[in-house]
Amino acid sequence: MLRNRVIDTAGRMVPIFQRQALRSLSGVKQSKLTTVEVDDKSGIATLSMNLPPVNTLTMELMHHMIDSINEIECNKSRGLILTSSNDKVFSAGLDLKELLNPERKRLEEFWTLFQDLWLALHLCGIPTAAAVNGHAPAAGCVLATACEYRTMLPNLFIGIHATRFSFVISKWMMLSYQSVVPRRVVERALNQGKLFRTQEALDIGLVDELACNKQEALDKCAAFIATFDKANPVARTLTKRMCREPDVRDLLNDRAGDLRDCVDYVLTPLFQEGLCSHLEGLKNKK
């Protein structure tokens, strides 16, 4: 079923969610919120999130990321490395302000965009790797687990701590987590809202390798992408999507259902109160 989506009549790979006309990539390309750099030698594209102070996934940043992912995929890059231009935070996760007393219509738009972003990255036709060079809580971790490989700098946090701010994640986020970390560990971590330190993340397999600094992280991602050199690219893409299809089947079959579940829950007083007191807590910490 997914097979049909990947090759167009001219035999080129086609992204799952294409949002705009293709643009040519030339060396470094800068939008306001993301940077794409293509290494001429390796053919690998590095996509940096670039929204100060902490790469919060606002609607605008997500738009830019989806465009950048599609662009990289269509321009036959050899692989995609996701990283942050901020060495403290990879991404702080979703823009929680969008979840606080939201207007239903805007919330629907916000969540649909997050679904789009995740699908674009999770099913991306080319090899993907995350150079986690800063903290990666919540949706920051979700983005990292959507990639095929993760390397991480020391003394950082990664994990899905949604229950700490009363949020209940969607099934596809759980399945993505379980595709990387054993089921038993995932259930407990999700229930606790656990954030793992770099070394713990390595121990449970949430992260594949440590790196001393950002350059080493990028190099390890590039070395990972090179492990696919002997594979036929289209067969690789089809195989990747077959492996990942069970995780997204429910979402693809019923995106409206996932949207409704999420929006309905976010609008409950229970969640709103929980989020409120979480945000108060963060304020008091500062």
Residue 129 lies near a copy of itself (rule: CB under 8 A): no
How many Å is the Cα radius of gyration of the chain?
18
Minimum distance of a copy of itself from residue 193's CB (angstroms): 5
Q: Does 203 bind a copy of itself (CB under 8 A)?
A: no
For residue 224, give the 3-state DSSP assignment.
helix
Q: How many CB atoms sit inside 10 A of residue 222's CB?
A: 19
Helix, strand, coil shares of the chain as percentages rounded to 5?
50, 15, 35
Residue of 41, 105, 230, 286 that binds a copy of itself (CB under 8 A): 230
Ramachandran assignment for 55, one of left (phi > 0), alpha (psi -120 to 50 degrees), beta (any other): left
Where in 169-198 is the site for a copy of itself (CB under 8 A)?
169, 171, 174, 178-184, 186-188, 190-194
| Residue placing its CB nearer to a copy of itself in the complex, 210 or 226 | 226
Q: How far is CA 37 from the centre of its chain?
A: 18
Using the rule CB under 8 A, which residue among 265, 267, 276, 279 binds a copy of itself? 265
> What is the token pair recorded at 42?
């390796």
Cβ proximity to a copy of itself: between 61 and 251 the closer is 251
Q: Which tokens belong to 151?
A: 């390397």
Binding site for a copy of itself (CB under 8 A): 3, 7, 11, 127, 148-149, 162-169, 171, 174, 178-184, 186-188, 190-194, 205, 227-228, 230-232, 234-236, 238-240, 242-244, 261, 265, 269-271, 274
